[in-house]
């Protein structure tokens, strides 16, 4: 028998108010792997992540390192989440915000222990957040804020990290910074990453594999070069693109007749 998969989805389906968003999704993510979910708007990328998190109802099965979700608290120590648009409570300090990630370990009712403070202190150092600790999260810039949200997720010390469009609203430099940081943490801490990414070129560069979710199911899966074909993109995204081959992965640019 092969090694236990970090994330394993079987016949996964999600429906909202009678409308089946997708069904029969199977996916295995190996320990330490980075898999991106791509697909057009409304294909259910975020719903798929939420099913893994257990925050919505779904059909089929979700296993993380062989276990099924039973209680929110226990699951939070296995799966950490960076939402697309995090809710930032007004007035919360960076320190208090990152400490929220420790609930999974100290319990919702537990008192903070020295170990919780140590984990957070280490994260502040590794993510270079020290100077922000007494600032309020809502006073930070987009890039700083994204690092703080990532720090909260890392404070959960879960082995699976779920990222929903982690680069939304970030400029080019900060997009790259955040994804490089995630990759460095993945390598150093042995994390498994399951992410959605809008930008296909970025998705091709960061991640071992991708899964194309469209029209109610998985349409393609595998290395970026196999999934991101002109045909697939025309068919499922309705986009006319050119693909430039690059050693780090395909570059997707819109084909245009502008000015001609």
Backbone angles phi, psi at 171, to 5 degrees: -75, 170
Largest CA distance in the chain: 67
Q: Is 240 in the site for another protein (CB under 8 A)?
A: no
Q: Whole-angstrom Cα distance, residue 35 to residue 240?
A: 25
Say whether residue 100 binds another protein (CB under 8 A): yes
Residue 64 lies near another protein (rule: CB under 8 A) = no
Crossing angle for the helix pair 172-189 and 142-155, nearest 10 degrees?
Answer: 20
- Residue 186 and residue 159: Cα distance in Å, rounded? 9
Which listed residue (19, 66, 134, 258) binds another protein by CB under 8 A?
134
Alpha-carbon torsion (207, 211, 214, 220), positive or negative: positive
Counting contacts by CB under 8 A, is residue 77 touching another protein?
yes
The answer to whether 247 contacts another protein (rule: CB under 8 A) is no
Stretch binding another protein (CB under 8 A), from 20-28, 110-118, 214-222, 235-243: 110-118
Stretch that binds another protein, among 65-73, 165-173, 220-228, 247-255 (CB under 8 A): 65-73
Q: Is 44 in the site for another protein (CB under 8 A)?
A: no
Per CB under 8 A, does 230 bind another protein? Answer: no
Torsion of CA 72, 73, 77, 81, to 10 degrees: 50
Please state the length of the chain.
Answer: 260
**Which residue in 103, 146, 167, 175 binds another protein (CB under 8 A)?**
103
Give the residue, chosen from 15, 136, 219, 232, that forms a contact with another protein under the rule CB under 8 A.
136
- Based on the shown chain and the rule CB under 8 A, indicate whether residue 108 belongs to the binding site for another protein: yes
Establish if 15 lies at the interface with another protein (CB under 8 A). Answer: no
How far apart CA 139 and CA 124 sit, in angstroms, is 17
Report the relative pairing of strands 34-38 and 192-196 from DSSP bridges.
parallel
- Residue 58 within binding range of another protein, rule CB under 8 A: no
Give the separation between CA 207 and CA 248, rounded to whole angstroms: 11
Q: Which residues pair with 197 in a beta bridge?
A: none
* Range in contact with another protein (rule: CB under 8 A) among 69-77, 195-203, 208-216, 242-250: 69-77
Q: Which residues bind another protein (CB under 8 A)?
A: 50, 53-55, 71-77, 79-81, 83, 86-93, 95-96, 100-101, 103-104, 107-110, 117-118, 120-121, 123-125, 129-130, 133-134, 136, 138, 152, 156
């Amino acid at each position: 028998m092969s090694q236990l998969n970090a994330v394993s989805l079987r016949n996964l389906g999600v429906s909202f108010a009678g409308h089946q968003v997708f069904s029969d999704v199977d996916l295995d993510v190996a320990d330490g792997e980075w898999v991106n979910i791509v697909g057009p708007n409304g294909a259910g990328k975020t719903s798929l992540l939420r099913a893994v998190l257990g925050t919505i109802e779904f059909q089929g099965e979700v296993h993380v390192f062989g276990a099924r979700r039973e209680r929110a608290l226990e699951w939070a120590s296995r799966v950490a989440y960076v939402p697309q648009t995090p809710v930032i409570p007004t007035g919360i300090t960076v320190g208090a915000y990152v400490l929220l990630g420790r609930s999974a370990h100290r319990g919702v009712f537990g008192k903070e222990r020295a170990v919780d403070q140590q984990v957070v202190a280490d994260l502040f150092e590794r993510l270079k957040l020290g100077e922000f600790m007494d600032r309020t999260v809502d006073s930070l810039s987009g890039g700083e804020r994204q690092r703080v949200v990532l720090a909260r997720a890392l404070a959960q010390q879960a082995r699976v990290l779920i990222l929903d469009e982690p680069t939304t609203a970030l400029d080019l430099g900060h997009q790259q910074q955040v994804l490089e940081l995630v990759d460095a943490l993945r390598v150093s801490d042995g994390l498994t990453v399951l992410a959605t990414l809008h930008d296909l070129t970025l998705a091709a560069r960061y991640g071992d594999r991708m899964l194309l979710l469209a029209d109610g199911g998985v349409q393609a899966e595998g290395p970026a070069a196999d999934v991101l074909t002109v045909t697939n993109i025309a068919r499922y995204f309705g986009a006319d693109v050119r693909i430039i081959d690059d050693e780090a992965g395909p570059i997707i640019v819109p084909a245009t007749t502008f000015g001609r």
